[in-house]
Amino acid sequence: MIKASLPDMCSILMMGSPGIGMLEFDVSLAKDYLDGGETVIFVTMDVLPADLLAIMRNFGIKTDKLLGKKLFIIDYHSSLLGTVDERASFARSEVRPAGDIEGIMFNVAAIAGEYGKPVRIFFYTLSTLFLYNQSNVVLKFFQISSSRVRNEFGTAVFSVHDGVHDEKTVNHLMAIADGVLELKFDEDLNRRMRIRHMRGIPAANQWIPFEIRSVDTNVTNPLLEWR
């Protein structure tokens, strides 16, 4: 599993090729935080809560014990689908609805205020927001959210798909973020990652291999780890 060492009080932009495994990468980082007793908030923009929890269980996260205590989900995706059926099987303290993008940070603030700071927040994905909102609206959301996270809450990882947005938009996102983490396939379709930059911290800027696989031959559930 990945051992997270991201700086505190910062916003990280994770950029990855479609299919590279950004969601699994997020879940692996979240597991490390949860194993350390920290509070994790996952904002679902491109996946339903039940599907996210199934992936988390594959990574060994004990969702039955942590959900609503150390693990919280802000469900924005269901509102995009125009349904509330997904939330019916969860307590409101576990999965909190967000009917618009303003409601996302409102819920983040409420959880942080109720359960304490710092919190670790994962936004998956900004690319979904761009599909349903104008670019300037999403950029403003990202700027305001990043500022509030670094000043009030803790650490946030915002995922965005690489190669599907124009260069000006991507450069604007990178300029706002404190750090940029890139994931890609090489010419042989092997997975690679690097820290492009991290504000105030020297970065090697070197591509490092990683893979999604089982670390135990007796376990079929996939895990994300360095190699």
CATH number at residue 177: 3.40.50.300
The mean pLDDT value for 181-200 works out to 92
In a domain, 22, yes or no: yes
Residue 201 pLDDT: 80
Residue 4 lies inside a defined structural domain of this protein: no
The total number of structural domains that make up the chain? 1
- Tens of pLDDT, residue by residue over 94-128, are 999 998 999 999 999 999 999 999 999 999 999 99
Structure tokens at 12: 């990280």
User: Token match 């150390």: residue?
Assistant: 70
Q: Report CA dihedral (29, 52, 12, 34) to the nearest 10 degrees.
A: -40
Does the pLDDT at position 218 exceed 80?
no
Task: Say if 3 falls within a structural domain.
Answer: no
Spatial separation of the C-alpha atoms in residues 74 and 150, rounded to whole Å? 19
Whether residue 176 lies inside any domain: the answer is: yes
pLDDT at 5 > cutoff 80: no
Confirm whether 209 is domain-assigned. yes
On the question of pLDDT at 68 being above 70, the answer is yes
- 62: number of Cβ within 10 Å: 13
DSSP-derived pairing of the beta strands 10-16 and 154-161:
parallel
Q: Which domain holds residue 51?
A: 10-226
149 lies in some domain: yes
What's the pTM value of the predicted model, to 2 decimals?
A: 0.90
Residue 2 lies in a domain: no
Please list the residues that pair with 226 across neighbouring strands: 210
Is 33 within a domain?
yes
The C-alpha angle with vertex 25 and arms to 21 and 29, in degrees rounded to 5, equals: 170
Q: What is the DSSP string of 42-60?
A: EEESSS-HHHHHHHHHHTT
Average the pLDDT over 204-225 and give the result. Answer: 61
